[in-house]
Amino acid sequence: MDLLEQRILEEGIVLPGNVLKVDSFLNHQIDPQLSMAMGEEFADLFGDVEIDRVLTVEASGIAIGVTTALKLGVPMVFARKKASVLMTEPAYTEQVYSYTKKETSNITVLKKFLPAGEKVLIIDDFLANGEAALGLARLVEKAGSQVAGIGIAIEKAFQNGHQKILDAGYRLEALASVAALENGKVEFVEED
């Protein structure tokens, strides 16, 4: 997606440890127009499959999850990283490791918000090692539903998450595919 790649080049900051900081428009401050454009792109990319619900993880996936769900005309639910005292009803839980935070957390969705028999589109902001996306996929499968696909705003193609998702049998669509983060610069995967 050219618009997203342009914003990454203009505002993204490459940090040590293969980290790309895009907090000025994606995961701290949010550009609503860009989020809407990403939601429209995901809706177009997955327009050939039936989707009943969008699932993401808090907090950075919520904006693009909402805009994708809005364009698809379906509900969106997000997995919580910390259970609230109000979450007293039955829930699905999975452990995921965060590449950028270097910590493992439990992600949780109440069972009533992830019903059985649906086709669920997973949306997230970043793909590095695939832990969050695969954790969300396990939640969907625990619920007795099917993963319709996985949409990622920015994938770091030089890490193993892309291949892990494909090896698990899931359809993957990324809006921006980063080939390398070297010398303070972002290089994108060349499209065929």
Q: Is 47 a domain residue?
A: yes
The pair of structure tokens assigned to 109 is 């969705």
Strand-pairing partners, residue 155, are 127, 177
What value does the mean pLDDT take over residues 45-71? Answer: 96
Does pLDDT of 108 surpass 80? yes
Least confident piece of the model among 46-50, 99-103, 123-127, 166-170 = 99-103
Q: Is 21 a domain residue?
A: no
> What DSSP character marks residue 135?
H
Q: Is 1 a domain residue?
A: no
pTM: 0.94
Rounded Cα distance, 108 and 38, in Å:
25
Letter for the amino acid at 90?
A: P
Whether residue 125 contacts residue 141, with contact meaning beta carbons closer than 8 Å, is answered with no
Number of domains comprising the chain: 1
Does pLDDT of 185 surpass 80? yes
The b-or-e profile of 165-187 (16+ CB within 10 A means b, else e) is beeeebbbbbbbbbeebeeeebe
Letter for the amino acid at 52?
A: D
Domain with 43, as residue range(s), is 33-177
Strand-pairing partners, residue 108, are 80, 93
Q: Is 28 a domain residue?
A: no
Q: Is 152 a domain residue?
A: yes
CA nearest to 122, candidates 52, 48, 36: 52
Confidence of residue 102 (pLDDT cuts 50, 70, 90): confident
What value does the mean pLDDT take over residues 103-120? Answer: 94
Rounded Cα distance, 124 and 182, in Å:
24
Pairing of strands 53-57, 119-127: parallel
Rounded Cα distance, 3 and 9, in Å:
10
Q: Is 17 a domain residue?
A: no
What value does the mean pLDDT take over residues 138-159? Answer: 97
Does pLDDT of 160 surpass 70? yes
- The CATH number given to whatever domain includes residue 122 is 3.40.50.2020
Q: Is 135 a domain residue?
A: yes
SS3 state at 51: coil
Rounded Cα distance, 127 and 9, in Å:
18
pLDDT of 119 reads 98
Q: Is 188 a domain residue?
A: no
pLDDT of 98 reads 75
What value does the mean pLDDT take over residues 14-43? Answer: 93
Confidence of residue 27 (pLDDT cuts 50, 70, 90): confident
Of all residues in the chain, what percent carry a pLDDT higher than 90? Answer: 79
pLDDT of 4 reads 96
pLDDT of 18 reads 87
